[in-house]
Amino acid sequence: MNILETKAICHDFSGLQVLMDVNLEVQEGERHAIIGPNGAGKTTLFNVITGTYQPSEGQVFFKSKEITGLPSHKLVRLGMGRSFQVTSTFTWLTAFQNIRMGILSRRGIRFNFFRFLDKMDDVTRETDAVLKRINLDGERDIPANMLSYGKSRSLEISMALATDPDLVMLDEPTSGMSVDETHNAVALIRRLTEGKTMVIIEHDMDVVFSLADRITVLHLGGILASGTPDEIRDNQAVKDAYLGEMEV
């Protein structure tokens, strides 16, 4: 089953056409990478899917239901999670407090005015468990903006997963990371997205080819090719437009 589908998505910014007739299909449980040169429209596509933008034309389907134009918080509740290219965590809160927000959301604790949050032991325990899984238990009480870059990106990724979504959208999770950090990040991502569907935007081809089950190549706002890593590797058009510039 296709957990995510876009039909004929077009999007423009005041006349500048950024996406043209994008038909993306993501199967449930797969790890799908979206690659393409800068300006191809990858993040815009993400924004359309995750509710930040309403597409000029076209539709988005999630779990077979149409979600075009729904606001982000609704999509999150339907089972989507997202990480951002520019780290978007709670700057002054500690790693613990950051993760805790995700746990609260997952448990539906939103408009609770009745209990001391710090005394909710089950929430605390769950948060600590998550911190351990992402190797941040040592940084539990450190504010997010004081974490090392690699750790803050780990935090960012786990914020995407905090609500236990079925579909995880990761926007360049390893951007700016060293080789070692990237290695760790890939292992973390693989571990955390077990049993989930993942769509990832990436520039680092090593990451793409080691993680992805299928790859879609975006070029100038349209889909150039879509298929398994081998198919993409051998695709001439892709090589000419994009991979030729990169070393695989």
Partner 1 sequence: MSKTKRWIFWIVMLIALVFYPKVFGIYYTNVFIIFAIFALFAVSYNLLLGFTGLLSFGHAMFFGVGAYGTALALEHVEGMPLIASVLMGALAAIVLALILCPIVVRVSGTAFAMIHLAFGQLMYVLALKLRGITGGEDGIGGFPIPELNIFGIVSIDMADPLNFYYFAVTVLGLSVLFLWFFTKTPFGSIMISIRDNANRVDYLGFKVPQSKAIIYTVSGCFAGVAGSIYALFQNLIAADDGFHVMVSFAPIIMTMVGGIGSFFGPIMGAGIFGIIEELTSRYTERVELVMGLILILVILFVPMGFIGFINFVKQKFAKAAA
- How near is the Cβ of 112 to partner 1 at its closest, in Å? 4
C-beta closer to partner 1: residue 38 or 113: 113
Check: CB of residue 155 under 8 Å from CB of residue 131.
no
Axis-axis angle for helices 95-106, 149-161 (nearest 10)? 10
Binding partner 1 (rule: CB under 8 A), the pick from 54, 112, 210, 236 is 112
- How near is the Cβ of 129 to partner 1 at its closest, in Å? 18
Kindly determine how many residues on this chain lie close enough to bind partner 1 according to the rule CB under 8 A.
Answer: 34
Integer Cα distance of 43 and 247 in angstroms: 23
Integer Cα distance of 77 and 79 in angstroms: 5
Q: Is 93 in the site for partner 1 (CB under 8 A)?
A: yes
| Amino acid identity at 101 | M
Binding partner 1 (rule: CB under 8 A), the pick from 26, 45, 130, 159 is 159
Counting DSSP H helices and E strands in the chain, the numbers are 9, 11
CA-to-CA separations, 195 to 3, 138, 212, in angstroms, rounded: 13, 27, 14
The pair of structure tokens assigned to 95 is: 């790693």
Q: Is 76 in the site for partner 1 (CB under 8 A)?
A: yes
C-beta closer to partner 1: residue 67 or 223: 67
- How near is the Cβ of 247 to partner 1 at its closest, in Å? 34
Element of type H or E holding 34: strand 31-35
Integer Cα distance of 223 and 31 in angstroms: 18
- How near is the Cβ of 170 to partner 1 at its closest, in Å? 13
Residues with Cβ within 8 Å of residue 129, at least 6 apart in sequence = none
Q: Is 131 in the site for partner 1 (CB under 8 A)?
A: no
Binding partner 1 (rule: CB under 8 A), the pick from 20, 101, 220, 225 is 101
Residues 168-227 binding partner 1 (CB under 8 A) are: none
- How near is the Cβ of 6 to partner 1 at its closest, in Å? 19
Question: Given the structure tokens 């238990």, which residue do they identify?
Answer: 137
C-beta closer to partner 1: residue 68 or 163: 163
Binding partner 1 (rule: CB under 8 A), the pick from 14, 116, 141, 180 is 116
Integer Cα distance of 215 and 58 in angstroms: 22
> Interface residues with partner 1 (CB under 8 A)?
50, 71-73, 76-77, 81-82, 88-93, 97, 100-102, 104-105, 109-118, 120, 159, 162-163
